[in-house]
Amino acid sequence: MLEGINKIGDLEWEVPIGYVANMRVPGRFFLSRALAETLEEGAVRQLANVATLPGIVKHSLAMPDIHWGYGFPIGGVAAFDMTEGVISPGGVGFDINCGVRLITTPLSEADLAGRKRDLIERLFAAVPTGVGAKSTLRVSNRELSEVMVNGARWAVERGFGTGADLARCEEEGAMPGADPDAVSAKARQRGAPQLGTLGAGNHFLEIQVVKEIVDPEAARVFGIVEGQVCFMVHCGSRGLGHQVATDHLRILESALGKYRIQLPDRQLACAPVDSPEGRAYYGGMASAANYAWANRQVIMHEARKVFAEMYGIDYDEMRLVYDVAHNVAKFERHDVDGAQAEVCVHRKGATRAFGPGAPGIPHAYAAVGQPVLIPGSMGTSSYLLHGTTTAMQKTWGSTCHGAGRVLSRSKAKKEVRGKELRLQLAEEGILVRASHDSVLAEEAPEVYKPSHEVVRVVHEAGLSGIVARLNPLGVIKG
């Protein structure tokens, strides 16, 4: 472990006050010895830097998938007081409400046999992928405002899915407080033609099979059985969210002097939660988050359509298990020094993991806690977990979001050949379809930390409990 870090539990580490100057609270992170080998000193410094921000409550936290990011580390979680504290785009990330949803089907792996290539090709044709991907869906400026306020509900009202889906989304697919007026014309311009598109990088639409049930009782509650074919959508708010982050970072940077905020790193630009600039960022961020929920709802519907046409199954036989956000800031009530208080929780590459009985989770899941979805990297397992009481106590009800990169995109491109990788995965029975083989190299399994180890740590640390492991059968990527 790095010098100056204290071990405070089997998988828990403390960054003491003084690790960097002006820390208000200690840092804490969760990590195994195996993951410690790839821990970046810069990411720990970022975790400590977050602890210098005004109004931070309890600890600056990071999950075991911690790695170096913009300002805050990815895998970072931090809560701020509603009157003394700040809100920061660096604590959310550029891809606002990047998230994951999981949908079950009544099919088994054997039902796909022989038609899997056809299925992948049809899904690839139905869902636009790639950096600049544009949708066939056209939304007017007024409709885009409705998307930003109503999120997944807008999509359902337009015929993409049903009302039952909304009850299976975090925030029911639309967080409150969205302010479309805090979204620039440029952000609208980028977002309008992209609704219903997957994007690029680690985003994917994947066909999976439930390979292993670890917690039978929770699996029953979530409606998952071994051998079942599912599909998973991992994407975010596309160019719209990126532009909202860019616009508000600039605004917040120029307001730092006004609020006499001194930062160890300009990338931590922020404003008081309760200030015009802070409220504007929140309103823009919530708008982008809701756009992302609508985006995943549209993509899910297009995928359901393909499955329905190919296998003659009904739409309501393809049930949404849950949809989680892993890049967002929210106002939530938590225990602070023995009393309930509202705080502004930032989760950046971290997933909400509310435990049994927590408010805001579907009634049907109340007994086991909310579903937590951890996407694997290309060719590796994804996981379904449940939230816990321990997470409520230790991490503001948060857990990891997946595996962090260990190799930069440029290094990955030098070391991996996309076509070879595609052929190798095909031999393992995993069909990959992307616009170009070259984009696959950047997403090769070996350029990411092993997600099973990250998941093992959050399970062992009690931040969430493993319910099931899902293996990829086919994937479409940007």
Partner DNA sequence: ATGTGC
Q: Which of 363, 401, 452, 459 is catalytic?
A: 401
Alpha-carbon gap, residue 53 to 30, rounded angstroms:
21
- What are the residues facing 373 on neighbouring strands? 384
Kindly tell me which of 96 and 112 has the beta carbon lying closer to DNA. Answer: 96
Smallest distance from DNA to CB 436, Å? 9
Q: Is residue 304 a contact point for DNA (CB under 7 A)?
A: no
Selected from 79, 92, 169, 200, the binder of DNA by CB under 7 A is 200
| CA-wise closest residue to 293 among 149, 162, 464, 401 | 149
Smallest distance from DNA to CB 95, Å? 4
DSSP 319-356: -EEEEEESEEEEEEEEEETTEEEEEEEEEES-EE---T
Site string for DNA, 426-455 (x = CB under 7 A): -----------------x------------
Stretch that binds DNA, among 201-209, 280-288, 355-363, 387-395 (CB under 7 A): 201-209
Stretch that binds DNA, among 197-205, 351-359, 365-373, 417-425 (CB under 7 A): 197-205
| CA-wise closest residue to 55 among 21, 83, 23 | 83
| Pair 67, 400: CB distance under 8 Å | no
Alpha-carbon gap, residue 34 to 38, rounded angstroms:
8
Q: Is residue 319 a contact point for DNA (CB under 7 A)?
A: no
Selected from 99, 201, 272, 397, the binder of DNA by CB under 7 A is 201
Smallest distance from DNA to CB 169, Å? 20
Give residue 295's region: left, alpha or beta (phi > 0; psi -120 to 50): alpha
Q: Is residue 203 a contact point for DNA (CB under 7 A)?
A: yes
Helix, strand, coil % over all residues of the chain, rounded to 5: 35, 25, 35
Site string for DNA, 391-430 (x = CB under 7 A): ------------------x---------------------
Alpha-carbon torsion (178, 318, 347, 90), positive or negative: negative
Q: Is residue 478 a contact point for DNA (CB under 7 A)?
A: yes
Smallest distance from DNA to CB 413, Å? 10
Smallest distance from DNA to CB 198, Å? 8
Selected from 65, 95, 206, 277, the binder of DNA by CB under 7 A is 95
Smallest distance from DNA to CB 238, Å? 4
Alpha-carbon gap, residue 241 to 37, rounded angstroms:
33
Helix, strand, or coil (residue 113): coil
Verify whether residue 346 is a known catalytic residue: no
Give the number of residues in contact with DNA, rule: CB under 7 A. Answer: 22
Q: Is residue 387 a contact point for DNA (CB under 7 A)?
A: no
Kindly tell me which of 131 and 167 has the beta carbon lying closer to DNA. Answer: 131
Q: Is residue 186 a contact point for DNA (CB under 7 A)?
A: yes
DSSP 85-102: -EE-GGGT-SSTT-EEEE
For DNA, the binding residues in 238-257 under the rule CB under 7 A are 238-239, 242-243
Alpha-carbon gap, residue 261 to 106, rounded angstroms:
55
Smallest distance from DNA to CB 128, Å? 11
| Pair 346, 76: CB distance under 8 Å | yes
Kindly tell me which of 236 and 272 has the beta carbon lying closer to DNA. Answer: 236
Alpha-carbon torsion (94, 37, 353, 452), positive or negative: positive
Alpha-carbon gap, residue 89 to 71, rounded angstroms:
9
Which stretches of the chain bind DNA, using CB under 7 A?
Answer: 94-95, 98, 131-132, 186, 190, 194, 199-203, 235-236, 238-239, 242-243, 409, 443, 478
